[in-house]
């Protein structure tokens, strides 16, 4: 089969380039179905007894590790929330100026606490010894330290707080 060049010369050059690009850009076909892993087969072990009968081994094969979100099992009680609401209620009998800090990075020491104040989740001033605030806290934060500082030179007051699993609401109170 002979192709004559003269036929292609009459086609505008830009159209030929577009056609060539279209043909090469399409790529190979193939089906668009996602790869699915092969099903996991479980085999039961059988043993023969001296009477010639076979019995199944009562221990099942271990469950394979989950490989996708479809394998995830969530407890029915789990609310699937990434944070909880912590209500802060501070009510000090004081008219001194004070400041409140709620932090998650701290260590207990023999003489008190060592607090990393760069880790504070909330900071705010006390108004005549009072503060009422709701703060959203990430679920992985289950132990926090609350610190009240007074400007007139008193030692800071510390209070450790821990998440209560069965409580309807989470509340931190300092009186």
Q: What is the C-alpha separation between 172 and 90, in angstroms, rounded? A: 8
Phi, psi values for residue 24, rounded to 5° = -80, -30
Q: Where are the domains of the chain?
A: 83-174
Low-confidence winner among 5-9, 22-26, 84-88 (lowest mean pLDDT): 5-9
Bridge-partner residues for 171, per DSSP? 87
Please tell me the distance from the alpha carbon of residue 129 to that of residue 117, in angstroms, as a whole number.
21
Are 158 and 106 in contact by the 8 Å Cβ rule? The answer is: no
Cβ distance 88 to 170 under 8 Å? Answer: no
pLDDT tens string 138-173: 999 999 999 999 888 788 999 999 999 888 899 999
**How large is the C-alpha radius of gyration of the chain?**
35
DSSP classification of residue 154: P
- Sign of the CA dihedral with 126 first, then 131, 133, and 136 last: positive
Alpha-helix residue ranges (DSSP H) falling in the chain: 5-9, 13-25
Q: How confident is the model at residue 127 (pLDDT cuts 50, 70, 90)?
A: very high
Q: Encode pLDDT of 61-113 as tens digits.
A: 777 777 888 877 877 777 778 999 999 999 998 888 899 999 999 999 999 99
Average pLDDT of the segment spanning 20-43: 55
- How many Å apart are CA 101 and CA 149, to the nearest integer? 8
Question: Topology of domain 83-174, per CATH?
Answer: Immunoglobulin-like (2.60.40)
Q: What is the pLDDT of residue 83?
A: 93
């Amino acid at each position: 089969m002979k192709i004559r060049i003269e036929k292609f010369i009459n086609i505008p050059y830009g159209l030929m380039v577009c056609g060539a690009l279209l043909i090469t850009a399409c790529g190979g076909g193939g089906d668009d179905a996602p790869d699915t892993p092969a099903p996991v087969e479980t085999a039961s072990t059988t043993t023969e007894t001296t009477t010639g009968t076979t019995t199944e081994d009562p221990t099942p094969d271990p469950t394979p590790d989950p490989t996708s979100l479809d394998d995830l099992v969530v407890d029915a009680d789990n609310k699937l929330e990434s944070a909880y609401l912590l209500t802060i209620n501070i009510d000090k009998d004081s008219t001194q100026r004070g400041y409140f800090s709620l932090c998650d990075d701290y260590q207990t020491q023999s003489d008190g606490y060592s607090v990393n104040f760069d880790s504070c989740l909330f900071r705010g001033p006390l108004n005549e010894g009072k503060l009422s605030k709701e703060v959203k806290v990430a679920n992985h934060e289950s132990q926090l330290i609350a610190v009240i500082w007074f400007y007139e030179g008193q030692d800071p007051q510390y209070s450790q707080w821990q998440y209560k699993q069965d409580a309807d609401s989470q509340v931190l109170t300092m009186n």
